[in-house]
Chains A and B, each alone.
Chain A
Amino acid sequence: MKDLKHLIYFEDLLQNAFNPLIAQAQSEGKICAAYSCENIPEPLLNLEGCFSVRLRAPRTGSMEMGTYYLTSFLCEYSRALLERAIEGGFNFADCIITPDGCTMMNRCIENMELLKAVGKDKEKFFFQYLEIPMKCDDNGLALYTLQCRNHILDPLSKTFGIDVSDAALRKAVEEHNKVCRLIREIGEFRKGDKPRITGYEFHIITLATYAAPKHLILDKLEETLEELKLREPDEKDAFRARVVVVGSEIDDVDFIKLIEETGAYVCADRFCYGSLPGRNPIELNDSEDALTQICRHYMEASQCPRYMNTGKNVARREYVNALAKEYNADGIIYEQIKFCDPWAYERMVGSHVLHDDFGYPVLSVDRPYSIAGSGQMRTRVQAFVESIEIKKIQGGSANG
């Protein structure tokens, strides 16, 4: 296929945590609200006068300092973030807002605070920690709403004078939805037999929406969508199987690339930093306040394994099944970043349920934060693709 016009632009944006668009937005007088977990409702950080950036540590090499403070038993994502913070790589942030989503992320941010690693020369800089629900119910919603008010809206309003009124929230949701609809529309091109976008390209574009101020990439997203409508897919399919990738956070640009290089087309992205469900538009009604509705959306849509009620546990696996059907997947890759407790359990159960109960071939892997050089991972994915392929050729059951 012909290269996407803005792909290199999006790739460049992801080369550094502090990308040029962040600097541009800040020069416009906007506040950069950094966050670290998908359980923080993004529109609340994208009110008029501020914008969200989800923390990443691209091109991570050594993590000695992060490992000293957190030990080698914490996930590399948390270690890489701390390392980058100590190096001064997150000093662009005007505040950091984090939930007690998982222990490792909490410890990572708390270490940043104790080490005073972020917020240098920013008088108004603050850290905020949120309690977020572990169950999807009314009590959880009440907590979520209160915590978002106390630990996001109030500090933004009091510290930076951000308008946090209901009208402002609705406007932020509207802006947020513009990006979501574009991403979802672009993602639709993954469904056909001859997809017009690769999983890698889609991953890059989606990642950019988390890592850069949204209003500054909107035009590029729109152009990309138009371009895709006219893009001619290759005559011969370069891929031998279609897979859904499910699991913990992936902000590494190389992971999806590695999978696709082995011949598996990533047709759906069900991971943190992915579009499913992270880029589902938020539908608001007029009969209830916007904050409650935003929180409900995040609570109900979340696929984070820290949601512990049985209903949510079952629904997570059903959601993967539904995605696999919708995107016509041949198999599922369950991945977790190594040392991630929540996904260690979810991967174990999910990979069995999707295989035993739903009949999909499943590859279950753990991985480091930066994957590019991993020959081991390449071999495992190659073998998985071959096993799917052989089954197709022999007409055997997918469950075999």
Chain B
Amino acid sequence: MAKQIGADRLGDFYTNGRVRKRREWRGLADTMYDYSCWLKIMLILGKFLMCPRNIKAMFRYRWMANYLAVPMMVDRHTQGLRGEYLRIAHTEFDLVVDDVAKLLANLFRADRRIGNDVEFSKKCVLVDENEMTAVMMGFPTLKGLSRETVSTYVPVLQNQHAVLHYLDVAQDYGLAGDVCPMPAAEAGVSIDDDAPILGACAIQCNTTCDGSLLGNGVIAKRLELEDGVPCFQLAAPLRHREDDVQEYAAQEIRNAIAFIEEHTGEKWDWKYYFECARRVNVATESRLGWLEMNKTDYPQVFGSNLALYTETNYMAICGKIPEFEKADRKITALAEKAYKKKMRAAKEYRHRAIVWGVQSHYYMDFLLWLLNCWGIVPLTDMLSMVSTRRLAEEDTPENRETAIYDMAWLTENMIMRNRTHGGYKVLLDELWEFCEEFNADMVILWEHMACKALSGFHGQFEEMARERGIHLVWVTHDLFDPRVVSRQGVRDQVNNYMRTVFGEEPIDPTLEVLPDQESW
């Protein structure tokens, strides 16, 4: 129990149950700060539950129970953190929690089965969970809401077992068990008829993979053919680095905007678009600044702090919510302060790693575990290495045309797909370039076993890493399904490599084996 970083044996907090033995003592100031943030999250949760329709939704939708584990999820992502690191984590996670609570409230307000606010529903446009929401940047009066985010994506972050039921439903219905569990779970929710029904229309997208593309068909079958919500399928080109696909991509954006206008009666607002574009640029510049810091000996915004926030801010927010701009600036200020003080987030940094591949959703705090257990610093991850293009932000006739291509570019380069599609250069070649830029000595390669894009280069990753003398640690998992590879199964792969190849002992041995099989 101490203020110093790394003074606690973090494994000692674990029990065989769902929650930890007690809260971490981080010294007076940090503990008070952390506790006040915890109270704030409880307040958000309490406020949310004060609304009768949200209570109704809690009983209607099976996945809603997972939200009771929100405080635990934030605690998992702040393990061992002190000072600026702790504040950066809370700035991000607390904002994301608040944003998801608002998303839930909006969904239930419009949901035909819950709030049934018909007029509000007419102002809602459904979007995919893994979709770049750029086409909503010019509709200030509309709400772009994702049902999949709240029913599958976020619940797995809170509770590792959250979507097992839906995976079983999809497989009972006849879906092969070898497809990616993310679209499979989303399809399971639709088959189970367990998603809110609302919206003037929906914009689906061929987001990251064949599974996502095909899963949309299952959702559209329920949504469009049974519930009568018109769906537009936005087809973003796969070979997104090629010049000869950009016009197609731009036309898809034009068509999507026209579809939204037609079904909502709203008109595209350029002023609002460019305001959002400016905020996207702020987010991009902030991220680039953090990544620059991560190339030095004193990285500041990395691991979960970088990964989860980028995913939310880049894709779901996409400049539409001003609070995220404030958060970007606050995080940058905290990071710069820590950088000047040459702060480190763990007591020992042993290895500098690039985390590549698709991370396990049921074990998102693994990056923090890498740091605390083995001193592996996850400098950046594949999902954070997204577009760095500066968008046009001044409203001129030329820029309006440029903006269409900017939105198309963002949509093509949504998280994950910008690496899983586009040919081997974006997935293989650029990894090694990043290793050099970040001076990394190892790659933690998430091998999401059902991700064909990643698995399809298994041999190439191995051979190329060997040629370059980079330690490549495979970490196999099944994204949403801890029954296939458990959290301990994930850890063991790293433990084995560190002990046998590096011959190292863990920095915190209590973390090597954890009884978190039953944990949320």
Contact = CB atoms under 8 A, between A and B. Distances in A.
Given A131-B248, A310-B233, A114 B460 contact: yes
Interface stretch (A137-145, A261-269, A390-398): A137-145
B179 A345 contact: yes
A201 interface: no
Contacts of A277: none
A147 B244 contact: yes
Contacts of B244: 131, 146-147, 150
A87 to B, nearest CB: 15
A110 interface: yes
A131 B237 contact: yes
Contacts of A104: 452, 456
Interface string B192-232: 00000000000010100111011111101100110000010
Contacts of A352: 173-174
Contact of A70 (B174, B221, B247, B455): B455
B247 to A, nearest CB: 8
Contacts of A341: 179-180, 209-211, 214, 452
Given A103-B209, A111-B459, A345 B214 contact: yes
Nearest to A137: B255
A358 interface: no
Interface string B402-420: 0000000000000000001
Interface string A305-323: 1101110011000000000
Interface in B269-288: none
A69 interface: yes
Contacts of A108: 456
Contacts of A351: 174
B237 A339 contact: no
B452 A344 contact: no
Contacts of B231: 310
Contact of A308 (B174, B180, B217, B424): B217
Interface string A109-146: 01101100000000000000101011100011011001
A4 interface: no
In which size bucket is the chain B interface? 35 or more
Contacts of B455: 70-71, 73-74
A348 B233 contact: no
Given A139-B255, A344-B176, A306 B248 contact: no
Contacts, number: 164
B141 interface: no
Nearest to B251: A139
A309 B202 CA distance: 12
B175 interface: yes
A107 interface: yes
Given A68-B458, A70-B458, A346-B214, A310 B224 contact: yes
Interface in A59-98: 68-71, 73-74, 78
B242 interface: yes
A68 B452 CA distance: 14
A142 B248 contact: yes
A52 interface: no
Interface residues of A, number: 52
Given A143-B248, A147-B244, A313-B220, A135 B233 contact: yes
A134 B238 CA distance: 10
B458 A69 contact: yes
Interface in A136-163: 139-140, 142-143, 146-147, 150
Contact of B206 (A73, A134, A139, A146): A134
A238 interface: no
B173 A348 contact: yes
Contacts of A167: none
B361 interface: no
A147 B247 CA distance: 12
Nearest to A68: B459
A107 to B, nearest CB: 3
A70 B459 contact: yes
A102 B210 contact: yes
Contact of A103 (B175, B237, B453): B453
Nearest to B215: A345
Contacts of B71: none
B12 interface: no
Interface in A198-246: none
Given A344-B175, A344-B176, A345-B214, A100 B452 contact: no
Contacts of A257: none
Contacts of B206: 134, 308
B424 A110 contact: yes
A305 B217 CA distance: 9
Nearest to B213: A308
A28 B192 CA distance: 60
A344 B179 CA distance: 8
A364 interface: yes
B217 A74 contact: no
Nearest to B248: A143
B132 interface: no
B235 interface: yes
A180 to B, nearest CB: 28
A123 to B, nearest CB: 23
B449 interface: yes
Given A309-B233, A310-B225, A310-B233, A73 B450 contact: yes
Contacts of B218: 345, 348-349
Interface in A338-378: 338-339, 341-342, 344-349, 351-352, 364, 366
A336 interface: yes
A131 B245 contact: yes
Contacts of B220: 310, 313
Contacts of A143: 237, 245, 248
A108 to B, nearest CB: 7
Contact of B233 (A305, A308, A366): A308
A364 B449 CA distance: 24
- List of 8 A-B pairs having minimum Cβ-Cβ separation, nearest first: A107-B456, A69-B459, A345-B214, A341-B210, A344-B176, A134-B235, A143-B248, A71-B455
18 contacts: A71-B456, A103-B420, A103-B456, A111-B457, A134-B233, A135-B235, A306-B210, A308-B213, A308-B233, A309-B233, A313-B217, A313-B221, A339-B176, A341-B210, A342-B214, A344-B214, A348-B175, A348-B176
Interface of B: 170, 173-176, 178-180, 187, 204, 206, 209-211, 213-218, 220-221, 224-225, 231, 233, 235, 237-239, 242, 244-245, 247-248, 251-252, 255, 420-421, 423-424, 428, 449-450, 452-453, 455-460
Given A70-B455, A139-B252, 7 more contacts: A70-B459, A104-B452, A131-B239, A140-B248, A341-B210, A344-B214, A364-B174
